[in-house]
C-alpha cells in the first residue's frame, strides 16, 4: 500500500495530496478495498476525521481533522463558505479570460435545483495540430473557484458553458477524451484541487495549503508531453 503525500500536519489537522481514482472513504456501492481514509489512518496510526470530499477522479488537497472538536469547527467553516477552494482543469476549446457561472445544480438525491456559483479564469491555451469534432484542437487550462459546494459542481458548470473537462466520462465529450487517450495516454479526469485557504480550527488564523499540479504525477507527465504548445493568457495572472 503506497503512502500518501502529506502536505501539512499539526496537532489539529492533516492535509494530503489525494491521488486520482481513489475514493475518500469506502462505500457499500463502490466496493473498493482501499480509500484515502483507510490509508491515512494506517499511515498515521490514529483516527482521522474527513471534513470535506473530492470526487474519486479528482486529485489534490484533501483535509482531515485529528480530533472531534477540530472536525466540527472545520465542517462548520466549509458549511459557512469560509474556505476558499481553487482548482485547475484542462477543458475543451478556448475558454473566456474570466467569468462567473451562476447556474443551479440539481441535487441527485432530492431532485431539486440548488444555487451554485463558480468563478473561473483562463490561465493558458494549448494549441495542437489537427481537428476534433470539426473544430481546431485547442484546449484551455482554467482555474476555478467554487463559491458553493454542490456535487460535481465544477464539472457540471464547465459543461454548462460548453468547456467540459478533458477525461470527464459523465459530463465531457467522448471524442476529446479519446483524443487525449490516444495522443497523450491521458485516461484520467484533468481536474486538480490545487489549494485551500481556511481559518485554523484552534487559532482562527488563516492557513494556506497548496500543491502545484506539476507535483501530481499524472499532471506532471501530461505537462511534459505537451511542453511548448502552451500559450499564457495575458490577463494579469
| Cα gap 21→60, rounded to integer Å | 12
Whether residue 55 lies in the annotated active site: yes
Q: What share of the chain is helix, strand, coil (3-state, %, to 5)?
A: 20, 35, 45
Widest Cα–Cα separation across the chain: 55
C-beta atoms surrounding 214 within 10 Å? 13
Phi, psi dihedral angles at 102 (to 5 degrees): -115, 90
Q: Which of 20, 32, 55, 204 is catalytic?
A: 55
Contact 81, 150 (CB under 8 A): no
Q: What totals of helices (H) and strands (E) does the chain contain, helices first?
A: 5, 13
Which grid coordinates belong to 121? 479564469
Residue numbers annotated as active site: 55
Amino acid at each position: 500500500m503506497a503512502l500518501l503525500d502529506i502536505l501539512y500536519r499539526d496537532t489539529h489537522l492533516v492535509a494530503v495530496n489525494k491521488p486520482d481514482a481513489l475514493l475518500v472513504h469506502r462505500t457499500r456501492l463502490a466496493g473498493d478495498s482501499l480509500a484515502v481514509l483507510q490509508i491515512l489512518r494506517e499511515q498515521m496510526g490514529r483516527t482521522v476525521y474527513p471534513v470535506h470530499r473530492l470526487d474519486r477522479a479528482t486529485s489534490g488537497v484533501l483535509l482531515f481533522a485529528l480530533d472531534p472538536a477540530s472536525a466540527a469547527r472545520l465542517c462548520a467553516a466549509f458549511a459557512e463558505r469560509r474556505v476558499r477552494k481553487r482548482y485547475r482543469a484542462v477543458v475543451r476549446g478556448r475558454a473566456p479570460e474570466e467569468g462567473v457561472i451562476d447556474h443551479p445544480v440539481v441535487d441527485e438525491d432530492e431532485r431539486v435545483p440548488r444555487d451554485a456559483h463558480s468563478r473561473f479564469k483562463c490561465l493558458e491555451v494549448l494549441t495542437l495540430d489537427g481537428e476534433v469534432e470539426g473544430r481546431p484542437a485547442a484546449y484551455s487550462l482554467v482555474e476555478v473557484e467554487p463559491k458553493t459546494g454542490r456535487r460535481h459542481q465544477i464539472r457540471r458548470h464547465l459543461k454548462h458553458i460548453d468547456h467540459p473537462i478533458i477525461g470527464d466520462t459523465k459530463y465531457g465529450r467522448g471524442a476529446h477524451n479519446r483524443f487525449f487517450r490516444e495522443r497523450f495516454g491521458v485516461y484520467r479526469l484533468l481536474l486538480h484541487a490545487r489549494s485551500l485557504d481556511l481559518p485554523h480550527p484552534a487559532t482562527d488564523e488563516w492557513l494556506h495549503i497548496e500543491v502545484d499540479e506539476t507535483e501530481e504525477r499524472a499532471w506532471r507527465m501530461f505537462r511534459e508531453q505537451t511542453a511548448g504548445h502552451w500559450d499564457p493568457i495575458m490577463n494579469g495572472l
